Structure 1
Amino acid sequence: MRVRHWTLNLLLVQLLHQIYSTSRSSSVLSAPAICPPAYTVYPCDCSTRLSQFNCGKTISSNLVLKQIFQESSRQLIPSTDSGQPSVVIYEKFQFQNSIVDSIESDTLDRYAFRELAIDHNDYLETIHTEAFKSTYGITDRVVLEANPSLGRRDDSVDQLFRVLSQFLNASLIHVVDCGLKYIPADAFRQISGPQSRLRRLSLANNRIGSIGDRAFSQLPSISYLSLQNNLIDRLDPQSLTFSDPHVVRDSGGGGGGRAIGGHLFIDLSKNRLNSTSFRSGSLLAIGRPYVDLQLSDNLIDYLNESLVKPLFKLRSVTLKLWRNPINCSDCRMRWTTAEKHCGGNHNNNLTISYGQRIDFQCRLFKDNFRHS
């Protein structure tokens, strides 16, 4: 009976493939995703209702994981008329609580997923550059969470960012609670094309100590960047360089469209930044018309006027410095409350005090003389 059920499933998928294929050369199977029989993907499980694969706890090695997808796909997924292998799309692939230390090339074989969630794999150290080749142009959400060994080795860091740079359709990428040591220069480079849909990027709760030059410069649509709770103690002149948001536009009527990526929120809270951590030009490099910069819970005791003040002449900026040891009796902070500047990008008749754009709490004067 199980064999008969499996045969019917296979025939149905092949029929749907013929109905839904839009082109003879198409390599994507756009028919509804039907799960293979349970015994072909064990110890993973698949839900047709949720369109989701779950793997992990009993996977003993990456070879087992790779074999599951290879063998089931060759039975389930037909080739196109041109002889090229088709790809069948599911909503989500969840891989968690495994003892696997690497994810090898072509692991997913002919399967693609709208969302990848790889979490709580204590021994996972590396992901091969071509591990998710079948889904790079399809996946919308990538979440790598609580994989403490991922990114601890220098070679695995560079390799991981080559993987992340190939998700051309992704609007969200989170690599949080992992072991990332640094962000390399040109981290999100154009390997197979621009990541023009990526809006939200979180690299929070890692062990990042430094940001390489132009790490995010190829992400024109980015509007949210979280680097919260890391070990960053320095920002170099090109660490926070971002491309011109007006280069990328949504398609729209009238041949114009609208600019995207204009507003940018950057969260650098809970790092090790102090008043001398900002190299000349490091903040000016942000280059977006509207910037919210979160610097709370660092070690900043004053704001360098020559580095911070020019920001307000070029764009609309809000700085948040809650729970920093700001010393308001320091003469180097006087400019934030005593001076004003004219307007923003669109209203040069509006006078704004720096204090309206810089949100901080002063360390009490008596704290300067408090004994431990």
Structure 2
Amino acid sequence: MAKQQKQQFLITIALVAILCMCQQSWCQEQHVEPHHGTGSHVKRHPHKVHYTVCPDEAILKPCLCRRSIITCDEEMDFKLAAIVDAISAMANNDSTVSVKLFARLDIAFSTETDLPDNAFKEIVADGIWIMAAPNLKTIAPNAFQGTDNLTRSLDLRNCPQLDTAGLFDIINKFVQLNRLSLMNINLETIPGQAFKSLDRLIGLHIADAKLKSIGDKAFVGLPALRQLNLMDTQLSLIGKDMLAFSLNYDQKMNVLLKNNPLLNGSTFDPEALVQLGRPTLLALIAVDHNPRQFKVLAEQVFKPFLMSNAGNQLIMSSNGYLCPDKRNEWLVKDRKLNRRLFYDQPYKHTVQC
């Protein structure tokens, strides 16, 4: 019993980590240490990054800067080009640091309709968060030129009119990226093999009510990926190669499927979960108004998943449950497999039918 409780505790911690990544901050700590101009380069360190100090308030008005995080929101009535020009001029006039690396740019604008090439000029940021742009329609192919080879966190959200046709070509230029969030950006499809050359990407969060399809092997080009969240979509099928990842049996993978109302325990291709390439923790989180969304787990889908790798596990939310149905007996009666199904509440590690 103690062993089972310990295992459930570890599973619960894992799920908390998964859900934590769904929040706006991704629980990402910013180790901000302003640079005081004593050297000629911005230093990178795996645990501590030296960021440039904030510009004078007069340069940024009406935007703000705190701890090297520049914030411009839609209520400030700002022009992005004007702010960028002012900061770029400051950078050109300061020879103490060759690169001005800010901790983050938090931008929300109501009037901008496009981001042109080289939109950020001399500004380089560890994180770029475009949090709301209701009228943004286009992002030029080289809009992030100059920062895209250094930025590690990119967040695009609440851009309901955005043309996403060339979006992944833009994203693939962020070669240092380790976290990416795409939320409510008019994303209807993710093409096959969408992600390339993002060898450092660890966490990928996608939530878009317009998303209906994901092409084959869209994520296979992400060798470091450890967390994939697919939320609030209109996906109606998990295809055979949709969740194929690069082979790495030593790296644990977390996949969160949450609030996808058209999915259920039978909307998976029979081979969808046997080609993951890694030991995988799969979380099936039902929508709040439909606790029976995953009431039946198709044997031809989930039994091969659990048997294909000893590290594969299932988590179901406490607001959803399996029904007393003969179609679930394969899991209820097999104690070894049953022990690898968990709920997101402590010590509910057996199927209660």
TM bucket normalised to smaller: 0.7 to 0.9
How far apart are the structure 1 equivalents of 2:185 and 2:352? 34
Query: Where do 1:324-343 residues align within 5 Å?
Result: 326-329=322-325, 331-339=326-334
Determine which structure has more spread, i.e. the larger CA radius of gyration: 1
How far apart are the structure 1 equivalents of 2:137 and 2:196? 22
How far apart are the structure 1 equivalents of 2:258 and 2:330? 23
Selected match of 1:180 from 179, 182, 187: 187
Structure 1 counterpart SS, 2:214: coil
* Structure-2 change in CA distance of 1:216 and 1:311 (3 Å): same
- 1:266 maps to a residue whose letter is V
Q: Report the count of equivalent residues.
A: 298
Q: Does 1:126 align with 2:135?
A: no
* Structure-2 change in CA distance of 1:20 and 1:180 (3 Å): same
Match in the other structure for 2:278? 288
Selected match of 2:52 from 29, 33, 52: 33
Q: Which deviations, in whole Å up to 9, do the C-alpha atoms of 1:308-365 show, x marking residues without a partner?
A: 2122222122223445574423x3222112235xxxxxxxxxxx2x22223479898x
How far apart are the structure 1 equivalents of 2:196 and 2:41? 33
Q: Does 1:69 align with 2:84?
A: yes
* Structure-2 change in CA distance of 1:362 and 1:289 (3 Å): closer
How far apart are the structure 2 equivalents of 1:306 and 1:96? 46
Q: How many Å apart are 1:106 and its aligned residue?
A: 0.7
Bigger RCO of structures 1 and 2 (CA < 8 A, at least 6 apart):
2
Selected match of 2:220 from 196, 217, 220: 217
Q: How many Å apart are 1:119 and its aligned residue?
A: 0.9
Selected match of 2:176 from 169, 194, 199: 169
Selected match of 2:268 from 260, 263, 278: 278
* Structure-2 change in CA distance of 1:31 and 1:355 (3 Å): closer
Decide whether the 8 Å contact of 1:60 with 1:99 is kept in 2.
Answer: no
- 1:138 maps to a residue whose letter is L
Q: Percent identity?
A: 23
Selected match of 2:338 from 352, 355, 369: 355
Structure 2 counterpart SS, 1:115: strand
Match in the other structure for 2:257? 268
Q: How many Å apart are 1:53 and its aligned residue?
A: 2.4
Match in the other structure for 1:235? 238
Decide whether the 8 Å contact of 1:36 with 1:76 is kept in 2.
Answer: no
How far apart are the structure 1 equivalents of 2:131 and 2:56? 25
Match in the other structure for 1:309? 303
Decide whether the 8 Å contact of 1:87 with 1:134 is kept in 2.
Answer: no
Q: Which deviations, in whole Å up to 9, do the C-alpha atoms of 1:195-225 show, x marking residues without a partner?
A: 2222111112543111111111111111111
Structure 2 counterpart SS, 1:92: strand
Match in the other structure for 1:20? 40
Structure 1 counterpart SS, 2:339: helix
- 1:104 maps to a residue whose letter is P
Q: Which deviations, in whole Å up to 9, do the C-alpha atoms of 1:147-173 show, x marking residues without a partner?
A: 3334xxxxx223222222222222211
Structure 2 counterpart SS, 1:313: helix
Decide whether the 8 Å contact of 1:66 with 1:107 is kept in 2.
Answer: yes
Q: Which deviations, in whole Å up to 9, do the C-alpha atoms of 1:71-111 show, x marking residues without a partner?
A: 6424632699xxxxx54211111111432122121101121
- 2:338 maps to a residue whose letter is G
- 1:358 maps to a residue whose letter is L
* Structure-2 change in CA distance of 1:310 and 1:122 (3 Å): same
Q: How many Å apart are 1:67 and its aligned residue?
A: 4.8
* Structure-2 change in CA distance of 1:206 and 1:125 (3 Å): farther
Q: In terms of mean alpha carbon deviation, does 180-189 or 102-111 score higher?
A: 180-189
- Over aligned residue pairs, what C-alpha RMSD do you find? 3.3
- 1:171 maps to a residue whose letter is N
Structure 1 counterpart SS, 2:314: strand
* Structure-2 change in CA distance of 1:320 and 1:16 (3 Å): closer
* Structure-2 change in CA distance of 1:70 and 1:355 (3 Å): same
- 2:181 maps to a residue whose letter is H
Q: Which deviations, in whole Å up to 9, do the C-alpha atoms of 1:36-58 show, x marking residues without a partner?
A: 5555554444x3x6223233437
Decide whether the 8 Å contact of 1:106 with 1:134 is kept in 2.
Answer: yes
TM-score by length of 1: 0.69
